[in-house]
Amino acid sequence: MQSRINYCSLISLVTLLWTAFPVRAQTTAKPDTMALFVSGTDGYMSYRIPAIVTTIKGTLLAFCEGRKNNAADAGDIDILVKRSTDGGRTWSAQQVIWNDSTNTCGNPCPVVDEITGAICLLMTHNLGDDKEGDIIKKLSRSTRTVWISRSNDDGITWPVPEDITATTKKKEWGWYATGPGIGIQIKYGAHKGRLVIPCDYSYDDSTSIPKQGHPNMGSHSIYSDDHGATWKLGGTITPKMNECQLVEVADGNGTLLMNMRSYFQHNCRAQSISYDGGITWTAPVDVPALVEPVCQASIIRYAWPVKKAKSCVLFLNPASAKRMNMTIRASYDEGQTWPVIRTLYAGPSAYSCMTLLPDGTINCLYEAGVKNPYETIVFEKLKAKELLNNK
């Protein structure tokens, strides 16, 4: 979805990034910010599409796309991961989870099954020379397909991905993306234990083509009731919706809230509700408080309203008319208002993801740079007390 990046020399780039995002994992006891993936290093021209989860053992897994030859959404793209077993102080070397020659392995969207401990990694695939526009228009040689790999050893090894397209994508759809970001496991209600992955797709409907942005796009969900062994297609949300993330509402019924990238050109996010675990969704509505430049965003639950704890939901995105000003917000009323606002990085920034550690530390993974948002993927730790005491 982005044009080719104009790169400066590797030496100049690293110098700029060291100033903006110093890598301090090996030099300080409590690092707060570091450049985890740096474009032009370790064999990849660029790194995009961050996703981060915490395993049941407390390990942080940071995923992304490694783009070999260009910054476009198609081409030679691999799925990568780095692991941290010490709360983000140090990280492993990057590991290739999926490399299919010069084809596109993209959109990592993990979800942790807190019952079994398995990490399900949902992904998409297409031929490397099939471009997004051609896939949408059905002019490509092939199409986007949906895949899964499951790790049962805390993210150390990943089996060969399995194609699950037949049960998760309608034949008439074109483009398809899992996430970007993470899925969730429902904690309450009739569908407790269900794994739900937010996705988006393109469809044929000449009546809903927006004046700008991608034509005929919608958000949807896929889900598993058997710990990731099989997956089913949930409900769709149209028109003009796209990349999305979801959170469970604290009503005890397992109600889901989908937060979406919108092409209504209102410079804000949209949202939809599901009362049946993602099988059906309400019509999308604007969320004016959540300003966006038409971009991906992240939303997670920080706290449930149990005992003396308040309900708290966190939201992270580039809060601007352009892809810049990476900002985190907190809501204490299930997303109705967002009284806590803090800018993490004022410069160019784009896609993001969040996860929590057992001690309540907020861990953010987001795209940022000096000249454009796609120079690095940054890892940043936030102490909840410092953020949430701003209320």
Residue 33 lies in a domain: no
pLDDT reported for residue 5: 37
Residue 12 lies in a domain: no
Tokens 């400066």, residue located? 8
Query: Average pLDDT by consecutive 10-residue portion of the chain (391 residues)?
Result: 38 42 38 90 96 98 94 89 97 98 97 98 97 91 97 98 98 96 98 98 69 74 98 97 98 97 96 98 98 97 90 97 97 96 97 97 97 97 84 48
Q: Taking the CB of residue 33, how many other CB atoms lie within 10 A of it?
A: 19
What φ, ψ does residue 213 adopt, rounded to 5°? 85, -175
Give the pairing of strands 162-163 and 33-38: unpaired
Please tell me the distance from the alpha carbon of residue 151 to that of residue 19, in angstroms, as a whole number: 36
CATH number at residue 110: 2.120.10.10
Tokens 């209504």, residue located? 264
Residue 35 lies in a domain: no
Residue 208 lies in a domain: yes
What φ, ψ does residue 177 adopt, rounded to 5°? -140, 135
Residue 214 lies in a domain: yes
Tokens standing for 170?
Answer: 């309608």
Q: Are 279 and 258 in contact (CB under 8 A)?
A: no
Cα distances from 22 to residues 18, 29, 33, 224, 253, in angstroms, run 4, 14, 7, 40, 44
pLDDT reported for residue 266: 95
Separation of CA 305 from chain center:
25
pLDDT reported for residue 165: 98
pLDDT reported for residue 308: 78
Range(s) of the domain holding residue 151: 41-389
Q: Is the dihedral of CA 95, 41, 79, 327 positive or negative?
A: positive
pLDDT reported for residue 16: 44
pLDDT reported for residue 385: 86
Residue 10 lies in a domain: no
Residue 141 lies in a domain: yes
Identify any residues that bridge with 37 across adjacent strands, giving them in sequence order.
377
pLDDT reported for residue 152: 98
pLDDT reported for residue 73: 82
Please tell me the distance from the alpha carbon of residue 330 to that of residue 338, in angstroms, as a whole number: 6
Looking at the structure of the chain, the number of domains it has is: 1
Residue 29 lies in a domain: no
